[in-house]
A and B are shown apart, each in its own frame.
Chain A
Amino acid sequence: MNAEALLLSLRLATTVALLLVALALPLAYTISFFDWRGKFLVESAVALPLVLPPTVLGFYALIAMGPRGPLGKLWQLLFGHPLAFTFAGLVLASLVYSLPFAVQPLVASFEALDRRLLDASAVLGVGRASTFLRVIVPLAWPGVLTALVLSFAHTLGEFGVVLMVGGNLPGITRTVSIDVYDRVQSLDYDGAQRTALLLLLVSFVVLSIVYGVNRRAWSPWPAK
């Protein structure tokens, strides 16, 4: 088993999950509580990673992050080194890849809130940002937890995008899933087996926590 790969995967998943929830909270808020022209376009864009093959997503990410891509150029300018095939590049691509897994549970939990609570807050003189922190987030915390855990688990299990933008650099971009793929390619079935089993167990435990803590939270399965 490759401990370095597992640690890297956990580090990536944790970073992505935290950043993603911070990004997804305001995004889900605007989707849930405001009606604007073109909202459906944003909703579609957020859901795109659900249907696009990871290789397609990864391909575009690679182009954007390459030395001649806009993100790559910007990164080079700011930090003096390329973005592709780095941990930061991996995080950026994973943010896009796992975005729907953070936004959708948040939207679902926001939309389940009693709107009169928000009206009550407004009439009591409390502004929108404050209402968000004092009423919406505390009441939608199962959704926040679900968003956190699902984006963590989804990032932990990604393969195609990592392969496209990360390559296979030990300790930098070689995650668990790449490690398994690598071992199978070199016919090391025992090694692949151990790593695969570990990822399976970690993922199962994480998901069990989400569903156990909140049975009514957003689930990838249709509502009963």
Chain B
Amino acid sequence: MSSAMLFVKIRKQFPANGLAPFVLDVDAAFPSGFTVLFGPSGAGKSTLLDCIAGLQRPDSGQIRLADETLFDASRGISTPPQHRELAYVFQSLALFPHLSVEQNIRYGITRLAVGEQKKRVETIAAAFRISNLLQRRPAELSGGEKQRVALARALVTRPRVLLLDEPLTGLDASLRRSILDDLRAWNAKNVIPILYVTHNREEVDAIGEHVLTLADGHVQETGIPHSVLEAPRRVQLAHAAGFENVLRAVVVDERPVDGVMRVALENTACQLEIPLGDVQSGSEVQIAIRAGDILLATEAPHFLSARNLIPGTIDSIETRGVLVIVRVKAGPTFTVHVTPGAARSLDLAPGLLVWLVIKTHSCHLVR
């Protein structure tokens, strides 16, 4: 399946409710993979998704999916939601309460042959681990199960874009992580843009790819999430926030003059320089590092500002959509995220000797 870019350039004004009128004015492009739409309640996030899905009509602008125009105000084009071939998981999930899980999942594919329906339902139910729930009604499901069913119902139609409106709100961090992992694995095979709306910073971090910040109907900034991050304080939060590497370490010495200290990782010779923290030499700490903050080099680099150069060998490589996950043994095992292009140009393969390059300030002290 080829991946297509979603282009959105729309404006929609809402009548004033006593105050200034609310204007949604967005110009953005969404590549395949996750884009997090982050912003406070009332920023226009759901309205933007509704416009993309065709449930609300912008006053002006265009919405395009690759070469296909879904909406163009000036040409009077507006494909009805039934024909946009997108999927949309609402915050309320909107599972049909009178239908079983299986009937819910089948709902959007009843035009297909019965055999094909069955096959697709089985495949998607297995991918989202709900095969044992097919005969239940939505009222008999837990929160996490409902969310999995809603995702399965949306994705079984093989959509071209996935719109998610705070679909994992209210779940605990580990459950959310597990659902996200399943969704990422699905996205690896079905490379489509996924727009993930949230007002929760933890979720922004947990997804950790592109972020588009929306406030008061306008795009404020785009970028990658760690630029808006604070250092995590607790291990659980670090995991929840998507720090793929959380390593045990012992403080070796402190250099207050430089504002740094050295730690030894997991009783190995491997040492890291990290920002000075309020801890004593010899005390046990944990260090959180984002997989996306680690650089890989296939030769020992020179003349770098980064203070941490750690040799290691590649243990495994896993490609998930636009993300390549590399595990490197260097004393402890590090998880590193690189792009498919980088993996290709460096000829990354298991067994290859590499150097991990980690900036001091990419290492976060976790208490």
B82 surroundings in chain A (CB, below 8 A) = 122-123, 125-127
From known contacts A114-B92, A116-B92, infer whether A123 and B87 are also in contact, taking CB-CB under 8 Å. yes
Q: Within the complex, what minimum Cβ distance (angstroms) separates B34 from chain A? A: 20
Given A123-B81, A125-B157, are A117 and B53 also a contact pair (CB < 8 Å)?
no
| Min C-beta distance of B83 to chain A, whole Å | 7
User: A residues 88-140 with Cβ under 8 Å of B?
Assistant: 114, 116-117, 119-127, 134-135, 138-139
Contact residues in B for A120 (Cβ distance below 8 Å)? 88, 90, 94, 96
Residue of B with least CB distance to A119: B55
Residue of A nearest to B88 (CB): A123
Q: Which of A120, A121, A126, A139 neighbours the largest number of chain B CB atoms within 10 Å of its CB? A: A120
Residues of B within 8 A of A114 (CB): 92, 94
Q: Is the CB of B80 closer than 8 A to any CB of chain A?
A: yes
Instruction: Tell me, rounded to whole Å, the shortest Cβ–Cβ distance linking A196 to chain B.
Output: 42
From residue A85, how far is it (CB to closest CB) to chain B in Å? Answer: 46
Residues of chain B touching chain A, judged by Cβ–Cβ distance below 8 Å, are 50, 53-55, 80-88, 90, 92, 94, 96-98, 107-108, 111, 153-154, 157
Distance in angstroms between the alpha carbons of A119 and B47 in the assembled complex: 13
Chain A residues, CB < 8 A from B157:
124-125
Closest Cβ of chain B to A140, distance in Å, is 10
Residues of A at under 8 Å CB distance from B?
114, 116-117, 119-127, 134-135, 138-139
- The majority secondary structure among interface residues of chain B is loop
| A123, B160: Cα distance in complex, Å | 12
User: 10 other contacts beyond A119-B94, A121-B107, with CB at 8 A cut-off?
Assistant: A114-B94, A119-B81, A122-B80, A123-B53, A123-B55, A123-B88, A124-B87, A124-B107, A124-B157, A139-B98
- Sample of 5 A–B contacts (CB below 8 Å): A117-B96, A120-B94, A123-B54, A123-B82, A124-B154
Contacts of B80 in A (CB 8 A): 122
**B-side contacts of A119, CB under 8 Å:** 50, 53, 55, 81, 88, 90, 94
Contacts of B85 in A (CB 8 A): 125
CB distance from A133 to the nearest CB of B (A): 12
**From B83, which residue of chain A is reached at the shortest CB distance?**
A125
Q: How far is A134 from B98 in the complex, measured between Cα atoms in Å?
A: 10
Task: Tell me, in angstroms, the Cα distance from A116 to B88 when the chains sit together.
Answer: 11
Bound form: Cα–Cα A125–B81 in Å: 7
Closest 10 pairs (CB-CB, A-B): A124-B108, A120-B94, A116-B94, A122-B81, A123-B88, A138-B98, A125-B82, A116-B90, A117-B94, A123-B81
Residues of A within 8 A of B111 (CB): 125
Residues on B with beta carbons closer than 8 Å to the beta carbon of A122: 54-55, 80-82
Q: Which A residues lie within 8 Å of B86 (CB)?
A: 123
CA distance A125 to B153 in the complex (A): 12
Residues on B with C-beta less than 8 A from A125 are 82-83, 85, 108, 111, 157
Nearest residue (CB) in A for B107 is A124
A151: min CB distance to chain B, Å: 24
Complex Cα–Cα for A127 and B108 (A): 10
Give the distance to chain A from B71, nearest Cβ to Cβ, in Å: 15
Residues of B contacting A139 with CB < 8 Å?
96-98
Contacts of B90 in A (CB 8 A): 116, 119-120
- Hey, which chain A residues are within 8 Å of B107, CB to CB? 121, 124, 126, 134
A100 to B92, CA, bound (A): 33
Asked whether B92 lies within 8 Å of A135 as measured between CB atoms, the reply is no
Chain A nearest CB, measured from B175 CB (Å): 23
Find out whether the CB atom of B108 lies under 8 angstroms from the CB atom of A135: no
Please name the residue on chain A nearest to B103 by beta carbon. A134
- Given the known interface contacts A119-B55, A120-B88, the answer about A126 and B108 at a Cβ–Cβ threshold of 8 Å is yes
